């Protein structure tokens, strides 16, 4: 199944971070249970803050970055377990929350038996990430404090589609986008793997090119390649667009750009090989100037078992 949340790019960043947080908290909850702690990960910020001394509900909410109603529910749970209590406060309009003796003992157990294990496990994951991920998270938090997603979105006039040139860092996008549609409709063939797994050597270094289309808020949503197959001859190949870009006309935008790039590369012959099952794509090819061609079929189609349509660009 396609991971829709991951595929939607920056537009689903909040959902992806939420999913990530839920997975990490589920693991932390198991560690708490194994340690005999009757609390959830969501209670840990309050426990950490109260270890430093009594706090008001407002101070606890601010320290943990949560809402006051949410912190009130957390404190209610800690009181129910006998871990926290109200404390006299000079300001009668406020009330201080402090840990009970039982709460102090539990906080010490958490600090010695739980947080080190969870922290070390998280460090193992962070070791696989380039750069200081926690600092990057802090930058995101600072940016959201300056202006929310809603505030920023209200100021943006999106440029729906833009062209991206090939870069080795985008090789995985080229592979993933094409693998998705190939495996959904057919089966990967050796000719597919040769190109998708070695785009630099098989396409770029051989005189061809790879283009990408990027959609505002979604990231890279499509790709198309020009494979040089002879003097002045190019095959338009490995064109795919993610389902997340449906309705944006990303395919037409990308195809027009690829045809123009073929002209820039000096293409005298531009052709493509496909399958009759790809009816929407074939309609798009026809719309932008490709015609069915028997000579192309006879000369090139043997490369793919699935090929039963060959087309030549006539402009």
Last residue of a domain, one of 78, 111, 146: 146
- Asked whether residue 245 carries a pLDDT value surpassing 70, the answer given is yes
Chain segment 89-146, per-residue pLDDT in tens: 666 666 889 999 999 999 999 998 898 999 999 999 999 988 898 999 999 989 999 9
Residues 82 and 165 reside in one and the same domain: no
Residues 109 and 195 reside in one and the same domain: no
Number of H helices, E strands in the chain: 15, 10
- From CA 85, how far away is CA 75, in angstroms rounded? 9
Residues 171 and 308 reside in one and the same domain: yes
Q: State the total domains in the chain.
A: 2
Contact 179, 140 (CB under 8 A): no
Residues 17 and 134 reside in one and the same domain: yes
Give the pLDDT confidence score for residue 1 in this predicted structure. Answer: 64
- From CA 245, how far away is CA 250, in angstroms rounded? 7
Q: What angle do CA 145, 151, 139 make, to 5 degrees?
A: 30
Give the pLDDT confidence score for residue 263 in this predicted structure. Answer: 96
Residues 165 and 142 reside in one and the same domain: no
Residue 156 in domain: no
- How far is the CA of 1 from the CAs of 13, 219, 220, in angstroms? 19, 20, 19
Q: By residue range, what is the domain housing residue 220? A: 161-313
Residues present in the chain in total:
315
Last residue of a domain, one of 146, 172, 205: 146
Chain segment 279-302, per-residue pLDDT in tens: 999 999 999 999 999 999 999 999
Residues 138 and 275 reside in one and the same domain: no
Q: Which two tokens stand for residue 152?
A: 């920023």
Helix axes 115-126, 13-34, angle to 10 degrees: 140
């Amino acid at each position: 199944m396609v991971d829709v949340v991951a595929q939607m790019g920056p537009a689903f960043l909040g959902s992806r971070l939420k999913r990530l947080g839920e997975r990490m908290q589920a693991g932390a909850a198991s560690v708490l249970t194994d340690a005999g702690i009757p609390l959830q990960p969501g209670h840990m910020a309050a426990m950490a803050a109260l270890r430093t001394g009594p706090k008001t509900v407002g101070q606890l909410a601010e320290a943990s970055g949560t809402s006051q109603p949410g912190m009130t529910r957390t404190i209610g749970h800690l009181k129910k377990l006998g871990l926290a209590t109200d404390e006299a406060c000079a300001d009668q309009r406020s009330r201080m929350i402090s840990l009970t003796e039982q709460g102090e003992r539990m906080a010490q157990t958490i600090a010695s038996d739980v947080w080190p294990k969870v922290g070390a496990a998280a460090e193992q994951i962070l070791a696989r990430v380039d750069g200081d991920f926690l600092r990057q998270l802090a930058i995101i938090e600072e940016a959201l404090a300056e202006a929310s997603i809603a505030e920023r979105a209200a100021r943006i006039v999106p440029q729906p589609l833009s062209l991206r040139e090939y870069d080795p860092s985008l090789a995985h996008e080229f592979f993933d986008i094409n693998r998705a549609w190939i495996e959904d409709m057919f089966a990967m063939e050796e000719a597919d793997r040769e190109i998708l797994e070695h785009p630099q050597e098989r396409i770029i270094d051989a005189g061809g090119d790879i283009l990408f289309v990027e959609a505002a808020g979604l990231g890279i949503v499509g790709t198309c390649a020009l494979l040089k197959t002879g003097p002045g001859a190019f095959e338009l190949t490995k064109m795919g667009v993610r389902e997340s870009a449906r309705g944006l006309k990303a395919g037409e935008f990308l195809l027009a750009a690829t045809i123009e790039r073929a002209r820039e590369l000096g293409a005298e012959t531009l052709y493509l090989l496909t399958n009759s099952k790809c009816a929407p794509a074939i309609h798009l090819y026809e719309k932008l100037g490709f015609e069915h061609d028997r000579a192309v079929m006879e000369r090139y189609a043997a490369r793919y078992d699935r090929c039963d349509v060959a087309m030549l660009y006539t402009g």
